[in-house]
């Protein structure tokens, strides 16, 4: 019994492979259709992921700055650290002593040096001790800022109010649109490919008719066609995968990994393009199989 199933399976794969080549011109039509649509899908995905990558990065860079009162003591600062720790949605935070700040400011410009040199002790330093706080969820930034401002000795809290909310909203819209475009493209691709395969199978109505006549069950008839769809999908996704891997790498090198300004970074090609390739292969295979299955079903009386 097992051997029998195994033999039928093996023959189905062999027949599927043969018929891809025996019906080469038709197979080519299906493969070309898969190639073109998958390249479009690939481009859309690369764009979408890069936009999302950029927005994610920007969101991650968003920091809340909390300034402390000028007269706060070092002991009190340690207590404030503990108090910040218990606030929700905080990813991490860092403390900058006002003496450190004045050091680095003096190094950065002689004008600052002239001005700051006179203040050599904590007590006289006109600057404020600061905490830099990063949040886990950008949508909670306002809430976190409010919590932080309630802590005693926290003088003021800044996070680019207004601008941040606006930016996050815009990014969300952009992300949703880009996901929507990719999903729509995948659906259109599925439809297009399955229709092309359907047309190519139409010419093989006779083959299906004869299979039925000699006593092939519906499953007997369907399986080789489904395997054929699988082969078409695999063959059709080879070119888009190569285009994606080689093309994106070339693009990345051409632009030195950034677009317009160093602020907008491209995603590093590896493993990004490999992941996209896997998705392309899956789309090709699934859509190829589905297309064949849908096409054969039409000629079977079920």
Residues contributing to the site for other proteins (CB under 8 A): 3-5, 7-8, 11, 22-23, 206-207, 209-218, 220, 301-302
Task: For other proteins, give the closer residue by CB, 211 or 295.
Answer: 211
Burial 84-95 (b: 16+ CB within 10 A, else e): beebebbeebeb
Phi, psi of 298 (to 5 degrees): -65, -30
Task: For other proteins, give the closer residue by CB, 22 or 158.
Answer: 22
Rounded to 5°, angle at Cα 263 from 259 and 265: 50
Q: How far is the CB of 7 from other proteins (least distance, A)?
A: 5
Residue 142 to residues 88, 90, 146, 156, 241, Cα–Cα distance (Å): 12, 12, 6, 13, 43
Task: For other proteins, give the closer residue by CB, 18 or 150.
Answer: 18
Q: How far is the CB of 3 from other proteins (least distance, A)?
A: 8
Q: How far is the CB of 13 from other proteins (least distance, A)?
A: 12
Q: How far is the CB of 218 from other proteins (least distance, A)?
A: 6
Task: For other proteins, give the closer residue by CB, 137 or 209.
Answer: 209
Measured between alpha carbons, how far apart are the two ends of the chain, in Å? 26
Q: How far is the CB of 290 from other proteins (least distance, A)?
A: 21
The helix (H) or strand (E) run that includes residue 17 is helix 2-22
Task: For other proteins, give the closer residue by CB, 76 or 212.
Answer: 212
Residues in the chain: 302
Task: For other proteins, give the closer residue by CB, 6 or 263.
Answer: 6
Q: How far apart are CA 3 and CA 8, in angstroms?
A: 9
Q: How far is the CB of 16 from other proteins (least distance, A)?
A: 13
Question: Beta 130-135 vs 63-68: how paired, if at all?
Answer: antiparallel
């Amino acid at each position: 019994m097992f051997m029998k199933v195994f033999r039928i399976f093996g023959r189905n794969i062999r027949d599927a492979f043969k018929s891809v080549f025996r019906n080469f011109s038709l197979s080519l039509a299906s493969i070309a259709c898969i190639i073109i649509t998958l390249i479009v899908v690939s481009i859309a995905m690369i764009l979408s992921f890069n936009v999302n990558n950029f927005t994610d990065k920007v969101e991650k860079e968003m920091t809340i700055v909390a300034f402390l009162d000028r007269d706060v003591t070092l002991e009190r600062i340690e207590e404030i650290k503990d108090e910040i720790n218990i606030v929700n949605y905080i990813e991490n935070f860092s403390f900058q002593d006002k003496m450190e700040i004045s050091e680095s400011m003096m190094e950065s410009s002689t004008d600052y040096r002239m001005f700051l040199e006179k203040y050599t002790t904590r007590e006289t330093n006109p600057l404020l001790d600061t905490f830099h706080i990063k949040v886990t969820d950008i949508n909670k930034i306002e809430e976190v800022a409010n919590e932080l401002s309630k802590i005693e000795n926290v003088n003021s809290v800044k996070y680019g109010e207004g601008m941040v909310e606006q930016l996050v909203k815009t990014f969300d819209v952009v992300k949703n649109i880009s996901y929507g475009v990719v999903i729509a493209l995948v659906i259109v691709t599925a439809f297009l490919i399955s229709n092309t395969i359907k047309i190519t199978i139409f010419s093989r109505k006779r083959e299906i008719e004869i299979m039925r006549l000699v006593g092939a069950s519906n499953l007997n008839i369907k399986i080789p066609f489904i395997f054929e769809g699988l082969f078409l999908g695999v063959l059709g996704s080879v070119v888009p995968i190569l285009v994606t891997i080689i093309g994106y790498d070339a693009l990345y090198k051409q632009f030195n990994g950034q677009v317009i300004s160093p602020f907008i970074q491209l995603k590093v090609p590896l493993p990004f393009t490999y992941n996209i390739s896997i998705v392309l292969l899956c789309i090709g295979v699934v859509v190829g199989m589905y297309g064949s299955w849908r096409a054969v079903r039409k000629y079977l009386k079920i």
